[in-house]
Structure 1
């Protein structure tokens, strides 16, 4: 049965105090623009009666107004692709009701198309409109009285850490604890650290992402859950060599998933010459001086490791984990300093063009991995208790997203070509460590809002 969501109110929420003219323009950095022309979507689920406060949407709206006065770029509008004009036009605030489901009933088998209805807008717009908000929030009440809070935050303004900073400030204000960042420390001049340096870069990125949309065919999104014990089993099997340390749980899981995806891809794409895995690294703490762990901006970058087809090497997580660990270990504070001082980030991005050419020829397959583990999304308490689940209704092909579970395990959201996912489903080595599998989406063709 399809979810029935009825929107009954839409309004703008402006900052509770005006942004000073001295802060009128917030420049996006090179990494902000490269983050992509889309929104980061999260949906938090709260049962009724779980926390000390009732689900008061008027109160949440007022809290959002206070939060916007602190994180003022989120109340602005995009200008010329590389600047946010902090004009206090505000964020969208949408109220809706679900008429045919209780919260618990919905969570038994959440689907991507239903999760999207709990968002205030399409997270993957086809065109960039200067009137688009940097932030939109939707509160949806289920038939049982439970609530979802769906966020769409422009990715050019904030990565996962920055979005979590927004959520936690909003939650603290709504709990009655007041603003925790009155000094403005979560708004950092990231453009001064990573200058955009390229004219028309936003248009270049928009064109690139539009091309990716057109190439989509049939694909499937699934959510695989691995327990804390099974993740430790994987780590313990991946014995460090004399050259590498013991992998972290995310490094071990990255190698485990990458190996399984390679095995699933080989029969589908026999002309491939190389498989690459990239992992997004949050390097706020590696900057000198470091910046707050939940500040706005995209202060992350990808490391990559490669595996060549035809080398005769068996494709296992054990055989690949050393490559993942080695790539992660290169991302030191000294490396970040060198990249900053010499324009290294721009050179690195330019050097990736050869890999993009190989990808377009069909010779290289790239799996992107991103971890939200240890990011305190599960602590976002509006006074209603902690969320019982967090939905990630984004669509990024060939992406594996890692999210902590409440009991110490990890959810792995993976989106792959349908044929590749079918092969992954048959991989007994992979499923020997998976506690449960949930189909989130299966396409029959193109999804216009997907990347």
Structure 2
């Protein structure tokens, strides 16, 4: 971008449900998984071109003068549609318009969601030539995190930024306290359907999760007080790596084995990122010292993985963190000695074994009478590993296969969909966390990896990574 980008907030308002929440629904019970979850925002941005028929290369954009003359009418029309449809869909997703009441419930008081309207002095083409994490953070406003359980912080904040080309960036911040990726996806689909068709098609289920995971009755039952949360590091730098479909085909072939002859694209990319991060740790030569062991955690949606399965659109948190591996660190020379090198296909096997073994192992415990104790025990053990100085913890989570690229509010489908990473020191994202998203064609994978400044040069010169990934290419083209 030739000029410094400026985002000017021109309006803020509260959007309330179009009709009041019935009295019998005004107290929403948190599930055990909601109680343990942090009141922390998941942030997402959908970028839209000026017109639905604009091609992926943005070659048919109108001139700047033509776009400028239509800016006000276009932005006002889109903003009004967003606000009206948001008000309608909040009637169906009524907990999102409420506020935390206490440790057990959400007060569905129709306090509403926050809507922010802004303008930016740049075009979509400018933004997407090489997306900058610091720039992206301007397109997704978040409320200040609460200092206590009882607060007036909204669960949902919408940030609609209109660009000078006539395009827009739709930032959505939604609290992890009562939503996971599946719930987030369901809400966006319902909202887009409402804007385009007049009403949402899907119907969320608000009882399944809390019925399967009844809430703890006191804070002491879910307290993690023995753990020192101050040790958790949030100073990572988000880096974006893109694996296009042709490279993924080659990667899957390399990652295949007799045990897993056809790994999924996410399994193959996850194993590669995992391998490169361990290699980076092995090559470190300066303090802090390398860990003696590694652990990988995978966040999985268990709605369809328990028996009987829960409805697809069950509202709330229904994702659990699954420990895939806890392995001793290889010798520091392992990266140079071929015979000691970590084998990619072995890592894929560990991933597949861990996830497929969920139903018979941890999953079975989560379906028994002592499911609460089993879940809290697992959470505590994971957190203890997270804060251990001997263990290097990595976390992987996939947002792939959710229909974000189908989100048509009335002006076409998104040109690009992204998470909204924030500046180092403010992200709230632990080091070693990787988020996977689809590329627009649905065949590739975008990986957002959180690294330290010291790790970036080692990670990004890894020959395995360079063979399959591109560092932050433009999203305007998938190949």
Interval containing the TM-score (normalised by the shorter chain): 0.7 to 0.9
Q: Match of 1:285, SS?
A: coil
Query: Structure 1 30/56 Cα, relative in aligned 2: closer, same or farther at 3 Å?
Result: same
Whether contact under 8 Å (2:161, 2:168) holds in the other structure is yes
Query: Structure 1 204/112 Cα, relative in aligned 2: closer, same or farther at 3 Å?
Result: farther
- Return the TM-score normalized by structure 1: 0.88
Query: Structure 1 265/71 Cα, relative in aligned 2: closer, same or farther at 3 Å?
Result: same
Query: Structure 1 348/170 Cα, relative in aligned 2: closer, same or farther at 3 Å?
Result: closer
Q: How many equivalent residue pairs? A: 433
Query: Structure 1 437/14 Cα, relative in aligned 2: closer, same or farther at 3 Å?
Result: closer
What residue in structure 2 maps to residue 329 of structure 1?
356
Give the whole-Å Cα distance in 2 for the aligned partners of 1:122 and 1:240. 47
Deviation of 1:27 after TM superposition, in Å, equals 1.3
What residue in structure 1 maps to residue 294 of structure 2?
275
Bigger drift between 230-239 and 258-267 goes to 230-239
Q: Match of 2:119, SS?
A: strand
Give the whole-Å Cα distance in 1 for the aligned partners of 2:275 and 2:212. 36
Deviation of 1:290 after TM superposition, in Å, equals 2.8
Deviation of 1:352 after TM superposition, in Å, equals 5.0
Whether contact under 8 Å (1:59, 1:174) holds in the other structure is yes
Q: Match of 1:211, SS?
A: helix
Task: Choose the corresponding residue for 2:43, options 3, 19, 41.
Answer: 41
Give the whole-Å Cα distance in 2 for the aligned partners of 1:141 and 1:186. 34
Query: Structure 1 403/367 Cα, relative in aligned 2: closer, same or farther at 3 Å?
Result: same
Bigger drift between 115-124 and 136-145 goes to 115-124
What residue in structure 2 maps to residue 446 of structure 1?
none
Give the whole-Å Cα distance in 2 for the aligned partners of 1:132 and 1:433. 42
Query: Structure 1 28/209 Cα, relative in aligned 2: closer, same or farther at 3 Å?
Result: farther
Bigger drift between 163-172 and 270-279 goes to 270-279
Give the whole-Å Cα distance in 2 for the aligned partners of 1:126 and 1:58. 33
- Cα deviation digits, residues 234-281 of structure 1 (max 9, x gap): 211223235x56422212221111001000112335441211111111
Query: Structure 1 331/172 Cα, relative in aligned 2: closer, same or farther at 3 Å?
Result: same
Confirm whether residue 117 of structure 1 aligns to residue 138 of structure 2: yes
Task: Choose the corresponding residue for 2:377, options 302, 326, 350.
Answer: 350
Confirm whether residue 258 of structure 1 aligns to residue 280 of structure 2: no
What residue in structure 2 maps to residue 445 of structure 1?
none
Whether contact under 8 Å (1:222, 1:438) holds in the other structure is no
Query: Structure 1 424/198 Cα, relative in aligned 2: closer, same or farther at 3 Å?
Result: farther
Give the whole-Å Cα distance in 1 for the aligned partners of 2:315 and 2:231. 27
Query: Structure 1 150/437 Cα, relative in aligned 2: closer, same or farther at 3 Å?
Result: closer
Query: Structure 1 130/356 Cα, relative in aligned 2: closer, same or farther at 3 Å?
Result: closer
Whether contact under 8 Å (1:226, 1:436) holds in the other structure is no
Whether contact under 8 Å (2:222, 2:376) holds in the other structure is no
Give the whole-Å Cα distance in 2 for the aligned partners of 1:288 and 1:233. 36
- Return the TM-score normalized by structure 2: 0.83
Deviation of 1:341 after TM superposition, in Å, equals 1.9
What residue in structure 2 maps to residue 106 of structure 1?
127
Deviation of 1:78 after TM superposition, in Å, equals 0.6
What residue in structure 2 maps to residue 12 of structure 1?
14
Structure number with greater Rg is 2
Deviation of 1:126 after TM superposition, in Å, equals 6.5
1:296-445 matches, cutoff 5 A: 296-304=315-323, 305-310=325-330, 313-332=340-359, 336-344=363-371, 346-351=373-378, 353-354=380-381, 356-394=383-421, 395=427, 396-397=429-430, 398-407=432-441, 408-437=443-472
Task: Choose the corresponding residue for 2:99, options 77, 84, 91.
Answer: 77
Whether contact under 8 Å (2:227, 2:384) holds in the other structure is no
Whether contact under 8 Å (1:255, 1:317) holds in the other structure is yes
Give the whole-Å Cα distance in 1 for the aligned partners of 2:364 and 2:222. 29
Structure 1 stretches lacking a partner, 5+ long: 440-451
Whether contact under 8 Å (2:104, 2:217) holds in the other structure is no
Query: Structure 1 354/202 Cα, relative in aligned 2: closer, same or farther at 3 Å?
Result: closer
Query: Structure 1 334/94 Cα, relative in aligned 2: closer, same or farther at 3 Å?
Result: same
Deviation of 1:178 after TM superposition, in Å, equals 1.8
Bigger drift between 291-300 and 118-127 goes to 118-127
Whether contact under 8 Å (2:43, 2:172) holds in the other structure is yes
Give the whole-Å Cα distance in 2 for the aligned partners of 1:358 and 1:155. 22
Q: Match of 2:400, SS?
A: coil
Confirm whether residue 223 of structure 1 aligns to residue 225 of structure 2: no
Give the whole-Å Cα distance in 1 for the aligned partners of 2:383 and 2:45. 32
Deviation of 1:371 after TM superposition, in Å, equals 0.6
Whether contact under 8 Å (1:355, 1:364) holds in the other structure is no
Give the whole-Å Cα distance in 1 for the aligned partners of 2:20 and 2:218. 31
Confirm whether residue 145 of structure 1 aligns to residue 147 of structure 2: no
Give the whole-Å Cα distance in 2 for the aligned partners of 1:66 and 1:122. 22
